[in-house]
Amino acid sequence: MKESPYFWAFQPNHSMPFFNPELVTLVRNQSLNAERTGTPSAEVQQAMTKLGLFKLFVPEQLGGLLMPLPDAIRLFEEAAYIDGSFGWLTSIGAGGGYFSAFYESAIANQLFSPTEAVVAGSGHPTGTARRVENGYLVTGRWTYCSGSVYATLFTASCRIADETGQQPNSIRAFTFRPEQVTILPDWNAFGLKATNSHTIIVADAFVPDKLVFDLSRPPIAGFGPIFSYPFLPFAEASFAAVCIGIGRHFLDEASQLAKQAKTSWAATKPERYQYVQAQIDQQKSTLEACTSAFYEALDASWALTAAGQTVSEDLSQKVGALSRGVTMAAVSGAQQLFPHLGMAVVDESTAINRAWRDLHTASQHTLLKAYPAIH
pLDDT tens-digit map of 215-254: 888 888 788 899 999 999 999 999 999 999 999 999 999 9
Distance CA 361, CA 84 (A): 10
Question: In sequence order, which residues have a C-beta less than 8 Å from that of residue 270 and are 6 or more positions away?
Answer: none
Nearest to 239 by CA among 121, 355, 72: 72
Which residue intervals of the chain bear CATH 1.20.140.10?
Answer: 229-368
The answer to whether the beta carbons of residues 97 and 64 sit under 8 Å apart is yes
Alpha helix locations (H) across the chain?
21-29, 31-37, 42-51, 69-82, 84-95, 105-112, 231-268, 272-306, 313-337, 351-362
Q: What is the CATH number of domain 229-368?
A: 1.20.140.10
pLDDT score at 374: 85
DSSP for 10-28, written as a single string: P-TTT-S--B-HHHHHHHH
Nearest to 183 by CA among 202, 170, 166: 202
Distance CA 170, CA 11 (A): 42
Q: Look at strands 119-132 and 153-161 and give their pairing.
A: parallel
The 10s digit of each residue's pLDDT in 167-201 is 566 999 999 999 999 999 999 999 999 999 999 99
325: Cα separation from own chain's centroid? 17
Distance CA 213, CA 222 (A): 18
Distance CA 368, CA 185 (A): 25
pLDDT score at 1: 39
Distance CA 224, CA 180 (A): 31
- Predicted TM-score of the model (pTM): 0.94
Which residue intervals of the chain bear CATH 1.10.540.10?
Answer: 21-112
Distance CA 294, CA 78 (A): 15
CATH architecture under which domain 21-112 falls = Orthogonal Bundle (1.10)
Q: What is the largest CA-CA distance in the chain?
A: 78
Distance CA 338, CA 7 (A): 33
Side-by-side strand order, sheet with 212-213: 182-184, 198-208, 135-145, 119-132, 153-161, 171-176, 212-213
Question: In sequence order, which residues have a C-beta less than 8 Å from that of residue 297 and are 6 or more positions away?
Answer: 315, 318, 319, 322
The answer to whether the beta carbons of residues 100 and 111 sit under 8 Å apart is yes
pLDDT score at 339: 97
pLDDT score at 11: 44
- Phi, psi for 266 (deg, rounded to 5): -65, -25
Which residue intervals of the chain bear CATH 2.40.110.10?
Answer: 119-213
CA distances from 288 to 41, 84, 208, 294, 356 (A): 32, 19, 48, 10, 18
Question: In sequence order, which residues have a C-beta less than 8 Å from that of residue 169 and are 6 or more positions away?
Answer: 159
Domain 119-213, CATH number (from 3.30.43.10, 3.60.15.10, 3.30.413.10, 2.40.110.10): 2.40.110.10
Q: pLDDT tens per residue, the chain (375 residues)?
A: 344 444 544 444 445 688 989 999 999 999 999 999 999 999 999 999 999 999 999 999 999 999 999 999 999 999 999 999 999 999 999 999 999 999 999 999 999 999 999 999 999 999 999 999 999 999 999 999 999 999 999 999 999 997 655 556 699 999 999 999 999 999 999 999 999 999 999 999 999 999 999 988 888 878 889 999 999 999 999 999 999 999 999 999 999 999 999 999 999 999 999 999 999 999 999 999 999 999 999 999 999 999 999 999 999 999 999 999 999 999 999 999 999 999 999 999 999 999 999 999 999 999 999 888 887
- Phi, psi for 42 (deg, rounded to 5): -60, -35
The answer to whether the beta carbons of residues 193 and 348 sit under 8 Å apart is no
Q: What is the sign, positive or negative, of the torsion defined by CA atoms of 308, 314, 320, 325?
A: negative
